[in-house]
């Protein structure tokens, strides 16, 4: 016996609607729609093209319904970003977290609550785009006052599909306005930095039903009121970590796509001064687990470089070929700090990397192959360091690293991470996020049961990670 559910999974560069066939001994994904997610720069900054994404989701759900009987729908996306709402209507177009407007918000928020104080309250690493800083920037700009509610991206999609406005808890934990134990919104903190607590909707936990599809959505998708939207770990990283096939509990994970999220899973947060100084975060996971991790820049460094080279040359770059050439580079390449925020914004990535190196008197790679090798070495170095730091700060032993997401297809990255960490890397599954999404839905429907360990055991039984042993 198995059930079929639909996962809407939005990444920073593309989105997909997947069917998940899930049963006690079955876990299988079927892609029904893939679409680009291309941000739009307008006169007032960098935005998500949320309407196009929503239209693609509705089309994808229609395709899902034409392929199978869909028992429920779960939605996940990147974290922190939101739409402001007034009387149920969206005000303006959601900003992209890479938009530069947040700097003003950081200053405004820290003037009231310095980082050390915030860390005690929310346990989050400092990232200039954390929702509370974006809210503070909107407050400075005057737009926050117009809103009576704010919805994070997956919650906005769920609202448009069902008419229900909620805040799913794993993603809410990335706002900086949730108590570190995840129990409730920290309204006094929000109010103290000028963020009206009316903006924060009622919390729901992964597995809770959000609502039935609106009539208009039923017509548009061909699905019926019998297919509810169910909350999953709506933060993509929360869903990805659900599906990390950690059969040995002494393991670290790297969820590697645009970002590389590197850390361990814990039962309780680490709020020490050392963890704050290392800028490690305590994000809320499914079933109350804590994702103790650090954001490393991820494949963004490589994809932005490839985009720049393609623009400059007018040719399309074959990534597998470029990576093979990078693997064949024998001359040692320099390592730059892949955590440096100078690499956050889009545009001109090879120039920024070259400037970073030459400012420090380091040799700049010459060919694209050398550049690519330098980027992958730098990512692997940052990954290895973050794994060891996560272990040191949390006291958790780490015997192996699971690398999931798109980066698990990058063999050079997997091998160099194993080499630099001195630990085996188990690569895959690629679609960990969609797997975590459908697993939580299937459990909510009663089709499978058990703890996260049991869900992971199902992933381990139905996928085969590739092992990269560390070389001396």
Select 237 or 415, whichever has its Cβ closest to ligand LFR.
237
CA distance 365 to 378: 13
Return the residue of 295, 305, 408, 463 that touches ligand LFR, per CB under 6 A. 295
Rounded to the nearest whole angstrom, what is the least distance from the CB of residue 127 to ligand LFR in the complex? 6
Please give the structure tokens belonging to residue 324: 């093979």
In 215-256, alpha helices (H): 215-221, 236-242
Select 337 or 457, whichever has its Cβ closest to ligand LFR.
337
Select 189 or 261, whichever has its Cβ closest to ligand LFR.
261
Select 240 or 329, whichever has its Cβ closest to ligand LFR.
240
CA distance 199 to 179: 16
The yes or no reply on residue 261 touching ligand LFR (CB under 6 A) is: yes
DSSP code string of 78-106: -SS-EEEEETTEEES-PBPTT-TTHHHHH
Please give the structure tokens belonging to residue 293: 């991790």
Select 221 or 258, whichever has its Cβ closest to ligand LFR.
258
Tokens 């040799």: give the residue. Answer: 363
CB atoms within 10 A of CB 430: 17
The yes or no reply on residue 292 touching ligand LFR (CB under 6 A) is: no
Q: Is 208 exposed, middle or buried (CB count within 10 Å of its CB: 0-12, 13-18, 19+)?
A: middle
Q: Return the SS3 of 330.
A: coil
Q: Return the SS3 of 250.
A: coil
Return the residue of 237, 282, 417, 441 that touches ligand LFR, per CB under 6 A. 237
Rounded to the nearest whole angstrom, what is the least distance from the CB of residue 241 to ligand LFR in the complex? 10
- Of 256, 294, 240, the closest CA to residue 440 belongs to 240
Return the residue of 18, 22, 75, 80 that touches ligand LFR, per CB under 6 A. 80
Contact between residue 82 and residue 150 where contact means Cβ atoms under 8 Å apart = yes
The yes or no reply on residue 375 touching ligand LFR (CB under 6 A) is: no
CA distance 211 to 229: 6
User: β-strands 82-86, 89-91: how paired?
Assistant: antiparallel
- Choices 34-42, 72-80, 326-334, 356-364; region in contact with ligand LFR by CB under 6 A: 72-80
Return the residue of 99, 121, 155, 236 that touches ligand LFR, per CB under 6 A. 236
Q: Count of residues for the chain?
A: 472
Binding to ligand LFR by CB under 6 A, coded x per residue (else -) over 396-435, reads ----------------------------------------
Select 12 or 200, whichever has its Cβ closest to ligand LFR.
12
- Choices 2-10, 253-261, 420-428, 453-461; region in contact with ligand LFR by CB under 6 A: 253-261
Rounded to the nearest whole angstrom, what is the least distance from the CB of residue 256 to ligand LFR in the complex? 10
Please give the structure tokens belonging to residue 40: 């739009």
- Choices 178-186, 194-202, 251-259, 396-404; region in contact with ligand LFR by CB under 6 A: 251-259
Select 238 or 329, whichever has its Cβ closest to ligand LFR.
238
CA distance 410 to 380: 11
Residues facing residue 28 across a β-bridge: 21
Rounded to the nearest whole angstrom, what is the least distance from the CB of residue 203 to ligand LFR in the complex? 19
Residues in Cβ contact with 318 at an 8 Å cutoff, skipping those fewer than 6 apart: none
Rounded to the nearest whole angstrom, what is the least distance from the CB of residue 97 to ligand LFR in the complex? 5
Rounded to the nearest whole angstrom, what is the least distance from the CB of residue 471 to ligand LFR in the complex? 29
**Annotated catalytic residue 337:** no
Rounded to the nearest whole angstrom, what is the least distance from the CB of residue 217 to ligand LFR in the complex? 25
User: Which strand (E) or helix (H) includes residue 5?
Assistant: strand 3-10
Rounded to the nearest whole angstrom, what is the least distance from the CB of residue 79 to ligand LFR in the complex? 4
The yes or no reply on residue 97 touching ligand LFR (CB under 6 A) is: yes
The residues in 166-225 that bind ligand LFR, with binding defined as CB under 6 A, are: none
Q: Does a cis peptide bond (omega within 30 degrees of 0) precede residue 429?
A: yes
Please identify every residue annotated as catalytic.
236
* Site for ligand LFR, rule CB under 6 A: 12, 78-80, 97, 235-237, 257-259, 261, 295
């Amino acid at each position: 016996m198995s059930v079929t559910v639909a996962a809407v999974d939005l990444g920073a560069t593309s989105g997909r609607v997947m069917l998940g066939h899930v049963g006690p001994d079955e876990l299988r994904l079927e892609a029904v729609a893939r679409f680009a997610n291309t941000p739009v720069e307008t006169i007032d900054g960098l935005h998500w093209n949320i309407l196009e994404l929503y239209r693609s989701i509705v089309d994808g759900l229609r395709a899902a319904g034409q392929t199978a009987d869909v028992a429920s729908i779960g939605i996940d996306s990147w974290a922190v970003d939101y739409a402001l709402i007034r009387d149920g209507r969206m005000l303006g177009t959601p900003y992209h977290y890479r938009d530069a407007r947040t700097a003003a918000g950081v200053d405004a928020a820290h003037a009231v609550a310095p980082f050390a104080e915030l860390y005690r309250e929310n346990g989050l690493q400092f990232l200039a785009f954390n929702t509370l800083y974006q809210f503070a920037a909107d407050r400075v700009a005057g737009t926050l006052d117009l809103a009576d509610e704010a919805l994070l991206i997956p919650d906005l999609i769920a609202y448009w599909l069902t008419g229900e406005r909620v805040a799913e808890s794993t993603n809410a934990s990335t706002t900086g306005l949730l108590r570190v134990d995840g129990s409730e919104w920290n309204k006094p903190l929000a109010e103290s930095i000028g963020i009206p607590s009316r903006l924060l909707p009622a919390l729901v936990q992964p597995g809770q039903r959000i609502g039935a599809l609106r009539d208009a959505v039923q017509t548009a998708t061909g699905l019926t009121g019998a297919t509810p939207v169910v909350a999953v770990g709506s933060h993509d990283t929360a869903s990805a970590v659900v599906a990390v096939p950690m059969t040995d509990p002494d393991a670290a994970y790297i969820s590697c796509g645009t970002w590389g999220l590197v850390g361990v899973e814990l039962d309780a947060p680490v709020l020490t001064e050392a963890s704050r100084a290392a800028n490690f975060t305590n994000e809320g996971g499914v079933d109350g687990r804590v994702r103790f991790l650090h954001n490393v820049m991820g494949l963004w460094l490589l994809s932005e470089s490839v985009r720049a080279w393609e623009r400059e040359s007018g040719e399309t770059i074959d990534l597998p070929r470029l990576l093979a050439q990078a693997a064949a580079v024998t001359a040692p390449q320099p390592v730059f700090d892949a955590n440096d925020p100078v690499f956050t914004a889009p545009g001109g990535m090879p120039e920024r990397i070259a400037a970073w190196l030459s400012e420090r008197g380091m040799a700049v790679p010459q060919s694209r192959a050398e550049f690519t090798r330098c980027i992958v070495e730098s990512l692997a170095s940052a990954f290895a360091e973050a794994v060891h730091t996560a272990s040191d700060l949390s006291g958790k032993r780490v015997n192996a690293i699971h690398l999931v997401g798109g980066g698990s297809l990058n063999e050079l990255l997997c091998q160099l991470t194993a080499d630099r960490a001195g630990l085996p890397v188990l690569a895959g599954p690629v679609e960990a996020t969609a797997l975590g999404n459908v697993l939580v839905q299937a459990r909510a429907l009663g089709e499978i049961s058990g703890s996260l360990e049991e869900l992971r055991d199902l992933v381990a039984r139905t996928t085969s990670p590739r092992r990269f042993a560390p070389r001396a």
